[in-house]
Every structure is written in structure tokens, then in C-alpha cells.
Structure 1
Amino acid sequence: AALTAQVFDQEAEAKEDERRETGVVEPTALMQVMEGTQHTLTWYSSLPSVANVTATVEDEVVAAVVEVGEVLPGAPTDNFTYYGNITISALFIGYNKLHLSLYDDRHLVVWERAVDISVVLSYQHLADLFTLLVGILIIVFYINMGATINLEVVKNII
């Protein structure tokens, strides 16, 4: 009987945590997006007051925040009170995090969320990079072989 009560308490706590959730970001993560593309995330909040929003990324080389849209009120029939958009640009391969913060009228943080971002190379850039690296490798081999041959010739002359 104690185990059943414990399970019931855990389920009740989980439901209470869901009720306490005051915001969501869609999509929840930007995984394996192609470099050079832009993506729009939308946040929704059921907080009584949202006056401002900020969005920052940890690594400006991998991705950048292009635009943080204004805070918009939800319709009376919506299940959220405020929402807004954030535009992210994928710049270079790597992993990053977008940090989103909502502020109330008193400029206090009322909600925060981190969104994972991973950027991959587009196929064309990968093929060009491979071609460039093979070309550099061949040039290095030719120079190395040429320098070795020239050194032997110089030694024989002396």
C-alpha cells in the first residue's frame, strides 16, 4: 500500500510541475541545421506580465541571433498570454546554445530557457573543402619530392 501511495504522490508532483510550466519554445531544439540557413523559433508564455525578451547565443561563430521580435499578446481564446519570435542564423559547423529570457514590467527575469543548436556543413561546402585539402596535400608532396631531389643533386655537385 505504501508503494502505491508513493507512486501516486510522484504522479501528483509531476502534474503539479506541468502546471507550473509557464512557457515553451518551439522547436525545442535546432539540431543538424545546415550552415547558411535562418530559422525562426516561437516562444509562448502563460505569465501574467511579459514586457521584454532577450536572446543570446554562447558562440557567435556557430550561430547568431538575427532578430528578436516584439512581445505580442495572445488572443483571449489562446492558452497563452504572450508570445514572440526569434530568428537565428546558422553560420558555421558546431554546437551552441540559445539562451532566452523573459522579463516583467520591473525588468526581473520571470522565465528562462536554453535551446540546443547544432550546425552541420552543407554538402557543397564539404565537397569543396575536400577538394581543397586534397589539392594542398598534392602540392605539399610535390614540393617535398622536389626539394629532396634538388638536395641530392646539390650534394653530388659539391
Structure 2
Amino acid sequence: MRRAALPTSGERERLLAGVVRGTLAAMTMTALRQVTTGLGLVEQTPPDAVLKQRGFGVVVRTPRLAFYLARRQVALVELAHWVYGAAGGAAFTRLPRSMRRHQWAGPGYGLATWIAFELSVVPVLGVDQARRIKPMEHLMFAADHVLFGVVLAGDRDWARSERRLPARLRRKRLARR
């Protein structure tokens, strides 16, 4: 049986960049969700619904732990969302370079993550909130996932190979190593 090859330093760097960008994209998405929730356009966000309806079920038998977690629910929802964003960013780096360089790669990927969540995670967890989503909420969730993808994809320079970067950017990157 062949062992999988270890990632090169360039692949590790790109993966780390994806994790960081995914986390920042999820944080940006959180800011937009604060606005849409505050304006009454969204009643409850999907991560909040998942955590409220399914997340604490395991710890209900431990009252102290349940109380501790309930008091920190907002922070836990955000941290879980950022970890999900980091994983999404890492997965984005594994897409073929030709796809990542396309101008619609980020927004398309953002929408794809939302659709995947709605079609896989929501039915498995049986989240009640999913059955009560209004059309405006769907629109807002689509918009915040497009924003996630735009921030994740960034300027697309990080998706290019070193050889294809302009000489000044190659020198700048080499100087940072």
C-alpha cells in the first residue's frame, strides 16, 4: 500500500491561507448576520438554531456544564461558525487552481456551502427552524454566503502558482519566508 505524499511547503502555506481566509470570511459573514438579524430580516440564524435545538442535548444530564454553556451560547455559536468557516476555507484551497482563479469561484463556493448545509446537515439534525424560513431569510442567507465566498476568494493572487505571479510579488513572498 502506498503512503500519501506529504504536502509541500507551498501547499501547506496555501492551506493555512485558506484556513485564515475562511475564518475571516465567517467573521465577516457574522457581522452581516448581526445586521440582518438586528433589522428583523432574519429571525434566527442556522448555526444558532442548530446549537439551540441539538447542541446542548448531550450535556443536559450534567446541569453545571449545561448552565455554563447556556451562559456562553452566543460565543459558542460564533466559534462553531468560525471553525466551520475555517474548514470551508481549507476545502476551498483543495479545489483545482483553474477553478479558484475564476472570478465567480468565491461567490459560487459560498452559495454551494449554504446549499450543502441545507441539503445535508439540516435534514440530518431535523432543525425545526428550517421549516419556518421565510423567502427574505433565504435571500439574506444566500447574500451572506456570497459575502463569505467573496472574502474567501479575495484577490485570487493566492490561488496562483509562484511561477505565474508577477516578479515583484514573487520577490515579496520570498522575502517573507
Superposition TM-score tier, normalisation by shorter sequence: under 0.3
Richer in strand (by share): 1
The alignment's TM-score, normalised by the length of structure 2, stands at: 0.25
Richer in helix (by share): 2
The alignment's TM-score, normalised by the length of structure 1, stands at: 0.27
Higher relative contact order (CA 8 A, sep 6+): 2
